[in-house]
Structure 1
Amino acid sequence: MGLWSPANEIAVDLGTANTLIYVKGEGIVLNEPSVVAIEKSTGKIKGIGLEAKRMLGRTPDGILAVRPLKDGVIADFDVTEKMLRFFLKTIIERHLFRVKPRVIVCVPSGITEVEKRAVRDSAQSAGAKEVYMVAEPMAAAIGVGLPVETPTGNMVIDIGGGTTEIAVIALSGIVADTSIRTGGDELDQAIVQFMRKNYNLLIGEPTAEQIKIQIGSAAPVGEEREMEVKGRDLVSGIPKIVRVHSSEIREAVQEPIQQIVDAVRRALEITPPELASDIVDRGIVMTGGGALIRGLDVLLQQETGLPIHLDEDPMTCVVRGTGRILDDPEKYRNVLTT
């Protein structure tokens, strides 16, 4: 059925780490890393998405593997546009009838007008007919299934690759929000620095990300684990293997994790008291890929004393929410901006 009806309404979660696309009537059709590999001399694209992510830190002179989004916003306009065009083209060409789609893009809540314009322009030049925007925490809240249009307060923490967005939502609007540019990438960086300082070992970001996923944690939960890490010795310059314990990695990521906890505290401090009382009852919902770090919910629960709920598929919350906006435009008309 899907291929007959044109893909004329599309939701895009343009993330620092991953880009997800949802087509009305079909669900999530694309989930790829936001990485592009470019040939330096010609500016031609060598690979996009997973293919390009495998090239990160491994490219020869002539090829650049770049992540065109930094801290949740567009850092490299041309490359972002090429990437978005490639993704949209892939989807539109799967269908028999090709139309220019209406696109809703998710943006961080702390985004500036200039950054907004960059998003709008890149989506339009990538082939969108109309571009609407929705704040990421709002989309995440809708994706989790919170009743955002009611007067009840709902609190969402969306931890992405580049940003952490914390928002208190009521009556289809964001009442109090804190957006910090600390996310999964910062944790990777912290691990790279730690390995360098404590083990004299140089590792790349992809390796740091693997360490984070396999043994990283925010609070002591369950059994401690070990992992072999391969990298280059700083002193001798020769590759070597070291064993790293999960408790060391927990130490290493303490600073960025603490920034996230502080941001949650700040958001709670500026919440109106009526809504604060709702949050005590309902708790806080955690979404985004960063929510998958072991023990983060436990840590936040200890720090705030509030119940923390983790969505079962936190990576796709934002794009699912934006998809719901497409499915029921009347109900969610107020959450969109142009």
Structure 2
Amino acid sequence: MFTFRTDIGIDLGTASVLVYLKNKGIVLKEPSVVAINKSTNKILAVGEEARRMLGRTPGNIIAIRPLKDGVISDFDITERMLKYFIAKASGKMMFKPRIIVCVPSGVTEVERRAVIDASNQAGAKKTYLIEEPIAAAIGADLDITEPSGNMVIDIGGGTTDVAVISLGSIVVSKSIKVAGDKFDEAIMRYIRKKHNVMIGERSAENLKINIGTAYPRKKDIYMDIKGRNLVTGLPKNIKISSSEMLEALEEPIAAIAEAVHSVIEKTPPELAADIGDKGIYMTGGGSLLHGLDTLIAKRTGIPVMIAEDAVSCVAKGTGQALKSIDVLESTMLSDDDKKRRYD
């Protein structure tokens, strides 16, 4: 089915890609994974189908994640993945779409250029960038146009962005490469060190989602997990408790709490007072980790709220920004603007 043209918002995440079509909402949410045949360089699967292949492919097939720590690590594969997702979400279009892609607040100019080029080559007429904390705040229904402080913590797969926003722009921000993926790595390391058992990324993610915690639970909960015994080399079943998860996740959680503290320290007093009244808003999949909001509230003495539909906040905000590109022009730069500024 052909459509004339529709503007598209893309949350290009390390763990997943969400696509928002103007006037339709979020139409696609898939893992950022691509399965490739190494011999022919042909793409075999993209998204959920490719994610199921992670850690389970024969030698000639690799399942890779082309984004790492919030930025593009494999340009060619990212471009092909974007092309696939744009076509799947919008069908065949007679005219190229305008696309807004969100990026972490700490990306370099080279990384910005890589996102713009990948989007343009994937079929965009014009690409705009919006920083993730701005998109997250819009998606969480915060009024960022007022001269009043709003604080957002967006914890994705590759990066955690902490920002104070006022008058539609970021006043103070910090972006660290500690988020959902680092949680998984910390769990894998802990299980290997304490139980002498090797588990995969998907098993670590399941532990994080089901029994992971950043603050002591009132009552321990348990989960059985299977892995490979590093001594015998045979499969082994072990029972893991939420207390062990608290211990395993201590380091990445401390890094996020430190980033939040650092941003509050640099915030102008008037805006800090606003944040003290309104509280801190958390978005992104990583914010759903049990007890993380309680921990940050205890550390800062400021109320912490998890935004409704936290996982989709950035994508929703990116989509809503499509309706008001002129208002947000100061926070978004198109590829043409970039050329004028840096040529």
Identify whether the pair has TM-score above 0.5, normalized to the shorter chain. Answer: yes
Scaled by the length of structure 1, the TM-score of the pair is 0.97
Matched, 1:99 2:95: yes
1:337 CA displacement: 1.4
**Amino acid paired to 2:56:** R
Match for residue 14 of structure 1 among 12, 15, 18: 12
What corresponds to 1:56 in structure 2?
A: 54
Scaled by the length of structure 2, the TM-score of the pair is 0.95
Tell me if the contact between 1:38 and 1:45 (Cα under 8 Å) persists in the aligned partners: yes
Match for residue 300 of structure 1 among 293, 296, 314: 296
1:8 CA displacement: 2.0
CA offsets, 1:50-85, max 9 Å, x none? 000000011100100000000000001111001001
Within 5 Å, give how 1:192-231 maps onto structure 2: 192-231=188-227
Tell me if the contact between 2:187 and 2:245 (Cα under 8 Å) persists in the aligned partners: yes
Match for residue 32 of structure 2 among 13, 25, 34: 34
1:123 CA displacement: 0.3
What corresponds to 1:233 in structure 2?
A: 229
Instruction: Note closer, same or farther for the CA distance 1:11–1:198 as it changes in structure 2 (3 Å cut).
Output: same
Match for residue 179 of structure 1 among 157, 175, 200: 175
Distance 1:229 1:92 in 2: 39
Tell me if the contact between 1:7 and 1:91 (Cα under 8 Å) persists in the aligned partners: no
Distance 2:14 2:218 in 1: 30
Distance 2:89 2:262 in 1: 40
Tell me if the contact between 2:133 and 2:161 (Cα under 8 Å) persists in the aligned partners: yes
Match for residue 138 of structure 1 among 130, 134, 137: 134
**Amino acid paired to 1:44:** K
**Amino acid paired to 2:305:** H
**Amino acid paired to 1:211:** L
Distance 1:315 1:91 in 2: 19
CA offsets, 1:18-71, max 9 Å, x none? 000000011001000000000001110010000000000111001000000000
Match for residue 77 of structure 1 among 71, 75, 78: 75
**Amino acid paired to 1:27:** G
Distance 2:62 2:298 in 1: 43
1:92 CA displacement: 3.1
320-329 or 20-29, larger mean C-alpha shift: 320-329
The count of aligned residue pairs is 334
Within 5 Å, give how 1:85-124 maps onto structure 2: 85-93=83-91, 97-124=93-120
1:329 CA displacement: 3.0
Tell me if the contact between 1:300 and 1:308 (Cα under 8 Å) persists in the aligned partners: yes
Within 5 Å, give how 1:265-304 maps onto structure 2: 265-304=261-300
1:330 CA displacement: 3.5
**Amino acid paired to 2:116:** R
189-198 or 6-15, larger mean C-alpha shift: 6-15
Tell me if the contact between 2:209 and 2:289 (Cα under 8 Å) persists in the aligned partners: yes
Tell me if the contact between 2:15 and 2:158 (Cα under 8 Å) persists in the aligned partners: yes
Distance 1:236 1:201 in 2: 10
**Amino acid paired to 1:43:** N
Tell me if the contact between 1:283 and 1:306 (Cα under 8 Å) persists in the aligned partners: yes
What corresponds to 1:326 in structure 2?
A: 322
SS of the residue 1:333 aligns to: coil
Match for residue 166 of structure 1 among 159, 162, 166: 162
Instruction: Note closer, same or farther for the CA distance 1:18–1:317 as it changes in structure 2 (3 Å cut).
Output: same
What corresponds to 1:45 in structure 2?
A: 43
Two-structure CA RMSD over aligned residues (Å): 1.2
What corresponds to 2:340 in structure 1?
A: none
Tell me if the contact between 1:92 and 1:99 (Cα under 8 Å) persists in the aligned partners: no
SS of the residue 1:150 aligns to: coil
Distance 2:34 2:326 in 1: 36
Structure 2: 5+ residue stretches without partners: 335-343
3-12 or 126-135, larger mean C-alpha shift: 3-12
1:222 CA displacement: 4.3
Distance 1:72 1:254 in 2: 22
